[in-house]
Amino acid sequence: MAVEQSNGFTDNWAYLRTELYWLERLLIAAVAKQQKEVKEIDRVARSRADRATSHWWKGIIASEDSIAYDEYREPATKTTHHQQMDVQIKATHQRGVVLALPTLRERLGLTLFEKNVVLMSLAPEVNRRYAQLYRYLQGEESKPQTDLPTLDLVLRLLCKSDQDWRASRNYLINKSRLTRYRLLSLLPCTEETLLNAPLKLTEPLVNYLLADQPTAQALDDLLKTCVSPDPPVSEPSAAAPIQIKKAARTSSLIFLRRVASSKQWSDLVLPKPVVETLTGIEQQILGHLKAQQKWQLSSDLYQPGSLLLLTGMTELSKILAASALATSLKTSLWQVDLAAIDPIDYTDLLKEIHELSPTLLLIQSAEQWLKRSSLLAEHLLQKFWTERQQKSSATFFSTHQPAAIAAIRQSRFNHQLDFPMLDATDRWLLWQKAFPTQVPLETTINWKELAEQLPLNEAEIRSIVQESIAYAAARDAEKVSLDHILQALTQRQLSVQMQPLEVKPTKRRSKQKTV
């Protein structure tokens, strides 16, 4: 592989030259293979029919004969071309040099196949010799004659098996962010199959990829033009009722989910600072609504909405804490997990949040929006924050990766609440609180020893409690005993060494006769 230097590439063009050198060797190997096959066929074929049926009379082509770069070179090292490139790209980024195609791949989460499709579509924009090679490999009878690679060609060159071919075709057409962002299009071919469709990059993307000094801001500006218009931001009403308005339009929601819970503060085991902060926010929301009605305050004077960053590994504790606040406010908690949403749908999600306008909103996997390489445009994030802060509301951003969040964004939050792992005392309380009050328990259960031996989180404890209740009911037991809990632990391949508590019988006082 032709690399510039051990500490990466000097600039974007040095990187492109190396990638195009790899592509050229791939194409030359494919041309050599095709020439060999044509020569063998011409030696035997006597008509066009013979040529059309050559695959049958030559025998079925084995999968290892399919065209792919790695099969046309002798591996000189234990690392592949792409692994070596990753090392050089990382070294280049550490020097602060932006490489256009790797940056695009990182921002959109492109696969290696998608990256190579972009490279093949870009190559004819650099030199027409790539177009000549494409035309030869696509065949003289291929229509339309084009400088661009067709869908059939990229699949033949970049896929190594039938399964890979099928998966790559379906992904590129239906799911690829290149096509969903309209950065790559399959040009229509009149009366032609889809395999003959040429692949063309948009002109702005071509200009970005070929820039002498591409920047991250240039990519941001490019992606902004590929999404739907921003959702409008409306001003809050001057006088809101004291009662918190229930969110409307729940039937057509796609991304937001209502969290069903009736937890009270007394039902939870939470750090004291967390409870104090959330009860303070409860008073703040109710107080602002009352002050708005009493004194007709304008939202321009101050921002009543709170932005909270929730950190720590106990995700269930975060959900239950926000649910308890919802119960106190007599409103609903709405939740969305960014890890389950395609970035191209972020604008639709923001529009849905704007229309629903929930008082309490929990955003999980928040690092997807808050990290430095976020796929949400900065102006959309700032606009969303401003809108939420102008409403009497609380917006919870939950993350397991606080270190990935830029410091300037962390400073935007009103509060940062940490949910640490439970200690033995917390687990002892949680074991007892997790059982509903209507479920009777044996008095011989040693809760303290159970909490000390099993370092479980809140979700695991609640799940084991539910299973032990089910086991007790299945056996027609009058009460849940230690045996039922141990059975639930055994199902999870957990074991403890403990015995039931001994309950000492109470002594009755004998009545003494008085003389």
Asked if residue 507 belongs to a domain, the reply is: no
Q: Is residue 396 classed as helix, strand or coil in its secondary structure? A: strand
Structure confidence at residue 136 (pLDDT): 87
Same domain assignment for residues 461 and 345: no
Structure tokens at 138: 């696509």
Instruction: Please answer whether residues 286 and 329 qualify as being in contact, where contact means their C-beta atoms are separated by less than 8 angstroms.
Output: yes
CA 306-308-313 angle, 5° bins: 160
Same domain assignment for residues 71 and 211: yes
- Residue 361 is part of which domain span? 257-418
Residue 416 phi/psi, 5° resolution?
A: -125, 115
**Rounded distance, CA 361 to CA 364, Å?**
10
Structure confidence at residue 141 (pLDDT): 59
Asked if residue 216 belongs to a domain, the reply is: yes
Residue 269 phi/psi, 5° resolution?
A: -115, 100
Q: Is residue 199 classed as helix, strand or coil in its secondary structure? A: strand
Name the amino acid, one letter, at 450: L
Structure confidence at residue 243 (pLDDT): 54
Total domains in the fold of the chain: 3
Instruction: Please answer whether residues 306 and 414 qualify as being in contact, where contact means their C-beta atoms are separated by less than 8 angstroms.
Output: yes
**Rounded distance, CA 51 to CA 158, Å?**
25
Q: Omega of the bond prior to 144 within 30 degrees of 0, cis? A: yes
* 208 CB-near residues (< 8 Å, 6+ apart): 100, 104, 214, 218, 219, 222
User: Which runs of consecutive H residues, i.e. helices, occur in 248-366?
Assistant: 272-295, 315-329, 346-356
Asked if residue 235 belongs to a domain, the reply is: no
What are the CA-CA distances from residue 473 to residues 181, 215, 434, 441 (Å)? 54, 64, 17, 12
**Rounded distance, CA 461 to CA 302, Å?**
42
Task: Give the domain-ending residue among 387, 418, 449.
Answer: 418
Instruction: Please answer whether residues 174 and 182 qualify as being in contact, where contact means their C-beta atoms are separated by less than 8 angstroms.
Output: no
pTM of the full structure: 0.55
Asked if residue 7 belongs to a domain, the reply is: no
In tens digits, what is the pLDDT along the chain, a chain of 515 residues?
A: 444 456 789 999 999 999 999 999 999 998 888 888 767 655 655 555 555 555 544 544 443 444 444 444 444 445 678 888 888 998 888 888 999 999 998 888 888 999 999 999 999 999 999 999 998 888 765 556 788 999 999 999 999 888 889 888 988 888 788 888 889 988 876 667 888 889 999 999 999 999 999 988 888 888 877 654 334 333 334 344 445 555 544 446 789 999 987 778 888 888 888 889 999 998 988 888 787 777 776 655 567 889 999 998 778 889 989 999 999 999 999 999 998 888 878 888 998 999 999 999 999 999 989 987 787 888 889 899 999 998 889 999 999 888 888 777 888 899 999 988 888 888 888 888 889 889 999 988 888 888 888 888 888 888 899 999 999 999 999 999 988 988 888 888 877 766 565 555 545 444 454 44
**Rounded distance, CA 468 to CA 478, Å?**
13
Same domain assignment for residues 117 and 209: yes
Q: For 35-82, where are the E strands, in sequence order?
A: none
Instruction: Please answer whether residues 343 and 487 qualify as being in contact, where contact means their C-beta atoms are separated by less than 8 angstroms.
Output: no
Residue of 233, 202, 194 whose CA lies nearest to 384: 233
Number of H helices, E strands in the chain: 22, 8
| Residue 477 CA, distance from chain mean position | 45
Structure confidence at residue 298 (pLDDT): 63
**Rounded distance, CA 503 to CA 293, Å?**
59
* 126 CB-near residues (< 8 Å, 6+ apart): 16, 20, 210
Structure confidence at residue 362 (pLDDT): 96
Report DSSP state, residue 307: E
Asked if residue 506 belongs to a domain, the reply is: no
Same domain assignment for residues 412 and 438: no
Same domain assignment for residues 215 and 303: no
Task: Give the domain-ending residue among 380, 396, 418.
Answer: 418
Same domain assignment for residues 117 and 173: yes
Residue 184 phi/psi, 5° resolution?
A: -130, 135
Same domain assignment for residues 159 and 86: yes
Asked if residue 6 belongs to a domain, the reply is: no
Structure confidence at residue 300 (pLDDT): 58
**Rounded distance, CA 478 to CA 484, Å?**
12
Same domain assignment for residues 470 and 447: yes
Same domain assignment for residues 216 and 296: no
- DSSP readout, 280-302? HHHHHHHHHHHHHHHH---TTT-
Return the CATH number at 485: 1.10.8.60
What is the number of other CB atoms lying within 10 angstroms of the CB of residue 224?
Answer: 13
Asked if residue 197 belongs to a domain, the reply is: yes
Same domain assignment for residues 356 and 398: yes
Asked if residue 233 belongs to a domain, the reply is: no
Structure tokens at 4: 């510039």
**Rounded distance, CA 8 to CA 328, Å?**
57
Same domain assignment for residues 268 and 178: no
**Rounded distance, CA 317 to CA 320, Å?**
5
Residue of 333, 341, 281, 276 whose CA lies nearest to 307: 281
Same domain assignment for residues 128 and 271: no
Residue of 188, 168, 166 whose CA lies nearest to 176: 168
Three-state SS letters, 3-40: CCECCECCCHHHHHHHHHHHHHHHHHHHHHHHHHHHHH
Structure confidence at residue 54 (pLDDT): 53
